[in-house]
Amino acid sequence: LLHHPIPGRGLFRTMFFLPSLVPLVAIAILWSWLLNTEYGLVNHLLSLVNVPPIDWLGSTQWSKVSMVLPTTWGVGGMIVIYLASLQEVPQHLYEAARLDGARFWRQFWHVTLPLISPVVYFNLIMTIITLLQVFIIPYIMTKGGPARSTLFYVQYIYDTAFRFLRMGYASAMAWILFLVIMLLTLIATWATAKRIYYSAD
């Protein structure tokens, strides 16, 4: 949709990218309003189809779900990187694949995916690092509640350091987070080493 030459492609690209320019604090406040039980837009829209109000931020059942939607607003930057990579794929490779009878999915698996694999790997690593450091959105929207259901690791470090003033313990937990991120990065690098195609290879 964002790569193929269709009417309104520029508009679609803008719509996908614009949310990533909004600060996370503003996104968290906006979604707190949208998901409000009493006057939130989401519950209002659900009421139009006779769905009872959902306590998005005050229920342990729905609180984690309410964290997903605001977090996805940051994918615009990744989309720009993917688009730049897709535009670098030589068109003559697609033409050769079509001459060999390859349809869309075979072209994708055997031409597109190998050539954009370095970008896929980069975005994978950045996603792992970002998700392990989630803090601003849950901190503003729920403060880790209800019943600590949205208390992510970085907020636990923050609370330990600045609420309970246990700086040494918080520093140790931060080092553990660093080691976990490094370990996962090394595992991802090892697992994908033979599957990443570089043009110089």
Buried (b) or exposed (e) across 126-158, using 16+ Cβ within 10 A?
eebeeeeebebbbbbbbebebeebbbbbbbebb
CATH code, 9-195: 1.10.3720.10
Q: Long-range contacts made by residues 11-20, C-beta under 8 angstroms, separation at least 24?
A: 13/79, 13/83, 16/75, 16/76, 16/79, 17/76, 17/77, 17/79, 17/80, 18/76, 19/73, 19/74, 19/76, 20/73, 20/74, 20/75, 20/76, 20/77
Domain residue spans in the chain?
A: 9-195
What's the confidence (pLDDT) of residue 200?
A: 46
What's the confidence (pLDDT) of residue 11?
A: 80
What's the confidence (pLDDT) of residue 1?
A: 54
pTM as predicted: 0.82
What's the confidence (pLDDT) of residue 183?
A: 97
What's the confidence (pLDDT) of residue 14?
A: 80
Q: Cα-flanking dihedrals φ and ψ of residue 113, to 5°?
A: -60, -45
CA 155 to chain centre: 18
Residue pointed to by tokens 């939607």? 69
Give 10-residue mean pLDDT values along the chain (201 residues).
Answer: 66 80 91 93 94 92 89 83 87 90 90 91 91 93 91 96 96 98 94 76 51
Comparing CA positions, the residue from 44, 66, 62, 63 lying closest to residue 53 is: 44
CA trace torsion 112, 113, 115, 121 (10° rounding): 150
What's the confidence (pLDDT) of residue 2?
A: 57
